[in-house]
Amino acid sequence: MLELMTINSSHFSNFILAAYFDSGLLKYLFFLIVMSLYVLMLMSNVFLIKVICGNRSLHEPMYIFLCSLFVNELYGSTAVFPFLLVHILRDVHTVPTSLCFLQIFCGHSYALMEVLTLTVMSYDRYLAICHPLQYHTRMTRNRIATLIAVPWFYSFLICFVMISLSSSLHLCGNIIDKVLCDNYPIIKLACSDTTVLNIYGLIITFTSVLLPVMLILYSYMRILKVCFSGSKQTRHKAVSTCTPHLASLLNFTLGASFEVIQSRFNMSRVPNMLRIFLSLYFLTCQPLFNPLMYGLNISKIRTLCKHTLHSNHPVL
């Protein structure tokens, strides 16, 4: 894939990331802050994956999907944080073309996988709350495996096609006004026709973003209907399990909105620090937010986390 990117992309051997600015000695402080966030993200996600995998009582569909979500957080943030740490300390902010497209592939596949996993999790909660008697007959091992594998395969396939189309564009420049590589700024640099890529982008936006979000909203509307008509115990169960999912979805939507604003509108009048925050929020806050939200709000995970921290052996 890297050879395809390098051969077909353009005349340029690298891209210049223009959003960085000379921060003097403050760059070492920024480095320590970002490094601390990265270590916190790694520790929290890996710890929750360990808790879920090491406790048989958590080997249920909801927690297995959560584990897939945490793996995706590790995947997406690892594509961003090490790259960011290197460039904070560097004086020259150039990126080889192949590495830039690889980062775009990782960033976009992470985002697609995130929204698809949240969709699967909402479907799981819909079945558990709206059809509890049929839950275990519908949510079989084969279906669980399919609901995990298909989003990963679909995300990688969609992004591979997108990168193949983008890397074949003839570019008239190589300056990206961001701290990370992104697909839309590269499209704006194109001198060649981008009609096919634009149509493909619209199709993907509908099938991979709008449609899943509509399915999530439909699932939670049905869940709310059951909650209002059900017992107090049913309402409590729904609220305790669905609140983290909705909070994660809102956080992801907020980050995606920041990314759209950053890419589609002129941000020259916005202070550099705020622009950098907007461009990083999408790929950094979700991996930090999700472990905290799920670890604190789902009582079963919270209890087993405490046992794991105070015991040398996982609770079975």
pLDDT for residue 102 is more than 70: yes
Could you tell me if 195 and 97 are in contact, meaning their C-beta atoms sit under 8 angstroms apart?
no
Each residue of 14-39: pLDDT tens digit? 899 888 877 778 888 889 988 998 99
What pLDDT, on a 0 to 100 scale, did the predictor assign at position 316? 40
Tens-place pLDDT, residues 281-290: 877 788 888 8
Is 63's pLDDT higher than 70? yes
**C-alpha angle 52-57-63 in degrees, rounded to nearest 5:** 45
Reference 260, options 207, 217, 201; nearest CA is 201
| pLDDT at position 2 | 47
- State how far the alpha carbon of 197 is from the alpha carbons of 18, 98, 114, 153, 188, in Å: 24, 19, 22, 21, 12
Q: For position 273, what pLDDT does the model report?
A: 74
What is residue 169's predicted lDDT score, i.e. its pLDDT?
87
DSSP 51-85: HHHH-GGG-SHHHHHHHHHHHHHHHHHHTTHHHHH
Return all residues near 179 (Cβ < 8 A) that are at least 6 apart.
Answer: 17, 19, 20, 84, 87, 276, 279, 280
pTM score > 0.85 for this model? yes
CA pair distance 117, 115, nearest whole angstrom: 5
pLDDT (tens digit per residue) in 192-213: 888 898 899 889 888 888 899 8
User: What pLDDT is recorded for position 92?
Assistant: 83
Tens of pLDDT, residue by residue over 253-299, are: 888 777 777 766 666 676 777 777 777 787 778 888 888 888 766 76
Q: What is the pLDDT of residue 7?
A: 41
Task: Indicate the length of the chain as a whole number.
Answer: 316
pLDDT the model gives residue 282: 74
Model confidence at 305: pLDDT above 50: yes
Q: Each residue of 75-91: pLDDT tens digit?
A: 988 888 898 888 888 88
Give the mean model confidence (pLDDT) for residues 33-51: 90
Phi, psi of 181 (to 5 degrees): -70, 140
Q: What value does the mean pLDDT take over residues 215-244? A: 77
Give 137 or 7, the one with higher predicted confidence. 137
State the pLDDT at residue 209: 85
Q: Looking at residue 115, what is its pLDDT?
A: 92
How many angstroms separate the CA atoms of 308 and 313, rounded? 7
**Residue 149's pLDDT is what?**
95
Answer for the pair 253, 156: CB distance below 8 angstroms, yes or no. Answer: no
> What's the confidence (pLDDT) of residue 163?
93
Band the pLDDT of 129: cuts 50, 70, 90: confident
- The average confidence (pLDDT) of the chain is 83
Q: May I ask the CATH architecture of the domain 2-309? A: Up-down Bundle (1.20)
